């Protein structure tokens, strides 16, 4: 018999059966941007590709200095419209892409893009760069080539649909299975589209 210092005897507690929780995939622990940043770090550290998130240029207007080591930005503005989210190089080819997410379960709204982003992507394509969009939608991640995005964009401009239907995206894009390392292996699709022998 075991006794505590206060004299009371030890009473073993009954084992409580563990309740297994179903895994939740709603957030998957990260945002699309976090997953892509992790993927790009994997590519970089394994000498596969050099691809980085582009910094957004900001004009700082007001800074408070409560202490020398604790500057606080109070007011800032974006200097210019951003182009796309990521760029870099892979096997000697320029890579440029945008990442977008939607919670909509029936279509992907084109309002997620801006005219200047589409124009930038067209310029990249005209220079033989590899340009695409990674879209997180309908509980999947898709690789959509820029040229296919242009079709949907032009259709919208001609008073057509202002979104890409779920079935259209599934038909036009390549599904990317989420993995561990790398998390979103979009290079595998680039290899199939641009570097596979004909």
- The encoded tokens of residue 169 equal 């995206």
Q: According to the annotation, is 117 in a ligand binding site? A: yes
Q: Are 134 and 185 in contact (CB under 8 A)?
A: no
Q: Are 129 and 87 in contact (CB under 8 A)?
A: no
What is the Cα 133 distance to its own chain's centre?
A: 9
Q: Which helix (H) or strand (E) holds 85?
A: none
Backbone φ, ψ for residue 156 (5° rounding): -60, -40
Q: According to the annotation, is 83 in a ligand binding site? A: yes
Q: Are 50 and 41 in contact (CB under 8 A)?
A: no
- The encoded tokens of residue 9 equal 């005897």
Q: According to the annotation, is 98 in a ligand binding site? A: yes
Q: Are 152 and 177 in contact (CB under 8 A)?
A: no
CA 56, 62, 68: angle at the middle one, nearest 5? 100
Q: According to the annotation, is 185 in a ligand binding site? A: no
Classify residue 48 as left (phi > 0), alpha (psi -120 to 50) or beta. alpha
Report the alpha-carbon distance of residue 18 to residue 146 in Å, rounded: 49
Task: Report the binding-site residues.
Answer: 83, 85, 98, 117
Task: Report the binding-site residues for Mg(2+).
Answer: 83, 85, 98, 117
């Amino acid at each position: 018999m075991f006794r505590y210092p206060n004299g009371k005897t030890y009473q073993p507690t009954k084992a409580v059966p563990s309740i297994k929780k179903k895994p939740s995939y709603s957030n998957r622990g990260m945002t699309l941007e976090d997953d892509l940043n992790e993927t790009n770090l994997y590519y970089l550290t394994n000498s596969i590709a050099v691809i980085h998130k582009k910094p957004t240029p900001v004009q700082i207007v007001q800074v408070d200095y409560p202490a020398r080591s604790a500057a606080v930005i109070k007011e800032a503005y974006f200097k210019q419209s951003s182009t796309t989210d990521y760029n870099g190089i892979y096997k000697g080819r320029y890579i440029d892409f945008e990442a977008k997410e939607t919670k909509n379960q029936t279509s992907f709204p084109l309002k997620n893009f801006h005219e200047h982003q589409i124009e930038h992507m067209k310029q990249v394509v005209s220079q033989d760069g590899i340009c695409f969009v990674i879209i997180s939608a309908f509980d999947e991640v898709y690789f959509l080539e820029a040229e296919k995005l242009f079709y949907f964009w032009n259709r919208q401009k001609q008073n057509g649909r202002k979104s890409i239907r779920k079935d259209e995206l599934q038909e036009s894009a390549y599904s990317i299975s989420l993995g561990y390392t790398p998390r979103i292996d979009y290079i595998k699709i680039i290899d199939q589209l641009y570097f596979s022998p004909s």
